A and B are shown apart, each in its own frame.
Chain A
């Protein structure tokens, strides 16, 4: 059974702090990883994707991937109350150029306190 595990939270951080969200995955064949943000009552929206080991930065967001440890993380710098949402981690396998389906974690709820 392919699984993606996340701490459900809630993770509470003060405004301006760094929020660190973590995710582990069970299938070593997974090659692509995604972070989605979901506000309460809304649909998920993609905020970051990462395919190679190391860090990928986009504005205040940094995704980190360590395939040896089967670990993915999302750092949010200078956290804002508007970042308060549930963050979903997803993994995907690639089959010789074709993509497999996404496997989602259950999500981590982040609360940024003013």
Chain B
């Protein structure tokens, strides 16, 4: 079955370290998204991609970067981790359609920055 996976599921790192969170989908979806979810803020969009070599900044992109070299993967990199980036990170994907754009979410990565 097609799916979307994230790794690692849990990560503890130190302030200032570079961290990369992986997202892999096997639906062959064009669109991929990274969100963070924090208490009191809901889901906030970090970066998104509408296809290979396409990346765009979302609402809370400072301190994060992404690259899209193939359809299946959109890794999220924290250049220099900060305690404010402690959060649960969700990757999502969707197909570009005319009337529907259902996003399917991965299981999430819980990141703690000490």
List A residues at the B interface (Cβ < 8 Å).
Answer: 32, 34, 42-46, 49, 51, 88, 92, 97-99, 101-102, 104-107
A10 to chain B: closest CB distance in Å? 14
Tell me the chain B residues, 34-64 only, with Cβ under 8 Å from chain A: 40-45, 48, 58
Q: Given that A49-B100, A101-B45 are known contacts, is A43 also in contact with B58, CB under 8 Å in the complex?
A: no
Q: How far is the CA of A107 from the CA of B44 in the complex (A)?
A: 12
B98 CB-CB contact with A under 8 Å = yes
Interface class of chain B by DSSP: loop
**Interface size band for B:** 20 to 34
Docked Cα-Cα span, A51 to B97, in Å, equals: 14
Interface centre among A42, A88, A102 (most CB of B within 10 A): A102
Question: Can you sample 8 A-B contacts with CB below 8 Å?
Answer: A34-B102, A43-B107, A45-B105, A49-B100, A88-B43, A99-B94, A104-B42, A106-B42
Inter-chain contact A43/B106, CB cutoff 8 Å:
yes
CB within 8 Å for A43 and B42 given contacts A49-B102, A51-B99: no
Instruction: Judge if B96 is at the interface, Cβ distance under 8 Å.
Output: yes
CB contact under 8 A between A46 and B102, given known A98-B96, A101-B33: yes
Smallest CB gap from B95: residue in A: A99
Contacts of B60-114 to chain A: CB distance below 8 A: 90, 94, 96-108
Would you give the shortest CB distance from A1 to chain B, in whole angstroms? 10
